[in-house]
Structure 1
Amino acid sequence: MPRYELITKSGFAAQAWRRHNSYAFAATDAVAPLVVTELAKACMCLPIAFMKQNDTFVPHAVQGLEPGRNLFVVNGTWVASYTPAAYRGYPFALAQGEVDQLHLCIDMDSGLVGAGEGFDQPFFDEAGEAAQPVKDALNFLQQIYRNRAVTQRVCAALAAEDLFQPWPLTVQGPDGERRVDGLFRIDEARLNSLDPEALARVQKAGGLPVAYCQLLSMGNIQTLGLIARKLDEVKNRMPEMSDQIDVDGILQRHKANDNLDSLETDNDRNLVNVVADEGDFDLSSFVNSKHRD
């Protein structure tokens, strides 16, 4: 668990930080929250679902098919072409103080805070002011914070028109099928049948782009099954290479082999196959070349 501490001049003037070069901190996150401004990019490579938090719906990137495993993090590397904003501010975070004040904090257990060699980013400059990279981190996190409020309003407008429905995923594994519950999707049939007044309300609230981004992203759920299958194949058939697999190469091959002329059925977006592919598959071609001496 992260241990965040408020950044103060008295506590951090003699310390420094460094940028992370690994996404291992996100390796156990099966989902990650998203905000509306990033959905257009996220939907191109990440499956997006809504999750209910109290009485509100929040868009999330679906990153795993079981608790505690993020399939988009392989050996510390983020393998998808888009990284959720929730991770790009790490190791910083915001804490809300009195009168809605936002204070910048940092994860003290991240291994990215200290003094001496390797810690090249000071928290404060020679004038005692916050250093520019720290200001940039604060500005970025404030943008995310403001966008969360916008995201809540948009999702409330979608909920007012009853446009959310459960998205029950079925995972086909070597031991049979299991359900993944707790996810919601846009009810496409209801969206298409909205009367002009209801459609205008959704459009005015900015809900249409959010709805279409989520619907478009659902085909990406198969990517999770693909990564799970290939990682398991490497683990079982080439265990000595299991930490060197080039997942990006696998994804590129999968993308190149997609049949663009076929139309995916709705059921394909609900069933995820993680059973290893049948037949021969040259896994050695997907081992990073720098490790194949």
Structure 2
Amino acid sequence: MPRYEHITKNGFAAQAWRRHNSYAFAGTDAVTPLVVQELAKACMSLPIAFIQQNDAFIPHAVQGLEPGRNLFVVNGKWVAPYTPAVYRGYPFALAQGDDDQLHLCIDMDSGLVGAGEGFDQPFFDDAGEAAQPVKDVLNFLQQIYRNRAVTQRVCAALAAEDLFQPWPLKVQTPKGERRIDGLFRIDEARLNSLDPAALARVQKAGGLPVAYCQLLSMGNIQTLGLIARKLEELKTRMPEMTDQIDVDGILQRHKSSEPEQTLAPVENDNVVNIAADTGDFDLSAFVNPKQND
């Protein structure tokens, strides 16, 4: 678990930080929240679903098919074309203090905070002000925070028109079929049948782009099955190579062979097969040779 600490001049003037070069910190996140500002890019490579939190529906990137495993993180590398905004601010985060103000914090257990060689980003400049990279991170996280409020309002407008329905996702494994519960999708049939007044309300709230992005993204759920199958196949056939797999190459090979995506979800989007592959290809072509030290 991250251990975030409020960044203050007294506590951090003598310390520095460094940027992360691994996404291992996200390796156990099967889902992560998204904001509306990033959905247009996220939907092109990530499957998106809504998760109900109390009475609200929040868009999330679906990153795994079982708890505690993010299939888009392989050997510390993020392998999807789009990286959710929440990860791009790491190891920083915003936290609300007792004074109701938002404070910039950093994960003290990230290994990215310290003093001496390797920690090349000071928190404060010579004048005692926040260093520019820290200001940039703060601005970025504040944008995400503000966009969360927008996201909640848009999703509330979609919920008001009863446009969310359960996504009955099933995973076919060598041991049989199992369900993934708790995911919701846009009810496309209901969206298409809204009367003009209801459609106008959704449009005015900015809900149409959100709905279309989620529907468009559903085909990407098959990417998770592809990664899971290939990693398992590699572990079985070439276990000594599991830290050298070129997932980018596998995804590009898969993308070049699949048909163009359509907006409407199809039956395939409800079933992810990790038990067997179709359109098999030679894995050895996607293993990077180790570099000599």
What TM-score do the two structures reach when normalised by structure 2?
0.96
Distance 1:242 1:128, change over 3 A: same
Distance, in Å, in 2 between the alignment partners of 1:147 and 1:202 is: 18
Contact 1:232 1:276 in 2 (8 A): no
In the TM superposition, what is the alpha-carbon distance from 1:276 to its structure 2 partner? 3.1
Alignment of 1:220-231 (within 5 A): 220-231=220-231
Contact 2:219 2:261 in 1 (8 A): no
Alignment of 1:4-153 (within 5 A): 4-98=4-98, 100-153=100-153
Task: Report the 3-state secondary structure (helix = DSSP H, G, I; strand = E; otherwise coil) of the residue aligned with 2:58.
Answer: strand
2:247 is aligned to 247
What letter is aligned with 1:111? G
Cα offsets for 1:123-161 (capped at 9, x unmatched): 000000000000011100000000000000000000000
Contact 1:165 1:187 in 2 (8 A): yes
Distance, in Å, in 1 between the alignment partners of 2:80 and 2:218 is: 15
2:213 is aligned to 213
Structure 1 stretch 241-250 or stretch 252-261: which is displaced more? 252-261
What letter is aligned with 1:152? Q
Distance, in Å, in 1 between the alignment partners of 2:116 and 2:6 is: 21
In the TM superposition, what is the alpha-carbon distance from 1:215 to its structure 2 partner? 0.2
Distance 1:176 1:16, change over 3 A: same
What letter is aligned with 2:32? A
Alignment of 1:115-194 (within 5 A): 115-194=115-194
Distance 1:114 1:280, change over 3 A: same
2:270 is aligned to 270
What letter is aligned with 1:187? D
Distance 1:70 1:146, change over 3 A: same
Distance 1:136 1:265, change over 3 A: closer
Task: Report the 3-state secondary structure (helix = DSSP H, G, I; strand = E; otherwise coil) of the residue aligned with 1:119.
Answer: coil
Task: Report the 3-state secondary structure (helix = DSSP H, G, I; strand = E; otherwise coil) of the residue aligned with 2:236.
Answer: helix
Task: Report the 3-state secondary structure (helix = DSSP H, G, I; strand = E; otherwise coil) of the residue aligned with 1:50.
Answer: strand
Distance 1:25 1:261, change over 3 A: closer
Task: Report the 3-state secondary structure (helix = DSSP H, G, I; strand = E; otherwise coil) of the residue aligned with 1:178.
Answer: strand
Distance, in Å, in 2 between the alignment partners of 1:280 and 1:255 is: 14
Distance, in Å, in 1 between the alignment partners of 2:278 and 2:97 is: 56
Task: Report the 3-state secondary structure (helix = DSSP H, G, I; strand = E; otherwise coil) of the residue aligned with 1:86.
Answer: helix
Aligned pair count? 292
Contact 2:36 2:150 in 1 (8 A): yes
What letter is aligned with 1:288? N
2:288 is aligned to 288
Task: Report the 3-state secondary structure (helix = DSSP H, G, I; strand = E; otherwise coil) of the residue aligned with 1:177.
Answer: strand
1:196 is aligned to 196
Cα offsets for 1:205-260 (capped at 9, x unmatched): 00000000000000000000000000000000000001110000000000111134
Distance, in Å, in 2 between the alignment partners of 1:147 and 1:49 is: 18
Consecutive unaligned residues in structure 1, runs of 5 or more: none
Distance, in Å, in 1 between the alignment partners of 2:280 and 2:224 is: 21
Distance 1:95 1:161, change over 3 A: same
In the TM superposition, what is the alpha-carbon distance from 1:267 to its structure 2 partner? 1.1
Consecutive unaligned residues in structure 2, runs of 5 or more: none
Distance 1:265 1:112, change over 3 A: closer
In the TM superposition, what is the alpha-carbon distance from 1:281 to its structure 2 partner? 3.6
Contact 1:168 1:180 in 2 (8 A): yes
Distance 1:264 1:37, change over 3 A: closer
Structure 1 stretch 99-108 or stretch 214-223: which is displaced more? 99-108
1:259 is aligned to 259
Q: CA RMSD in A?
A: 1.7
Distance, in Å, in 1 between the alignment partners of 2:172 and 2:109 is: 37
Contact 1:221 1:272 in 2 (8 A): yes
What TM-score do the two structures reach when normalised by structure 1?
0.96
In the TM superposition, what is the alpha-carbon distance from 1:280 to its structure 2 partner? 6.4
Task: Report the 3-state secondary structure (helix = DSSP H, G, I; strand = E; otherwise coil) of the residue aligned with 1:103.
Answer: strand
Distance 1:264 1:142, change over 3 A: closer
Contact 1:31 1:63 in 2 (8 A): yes
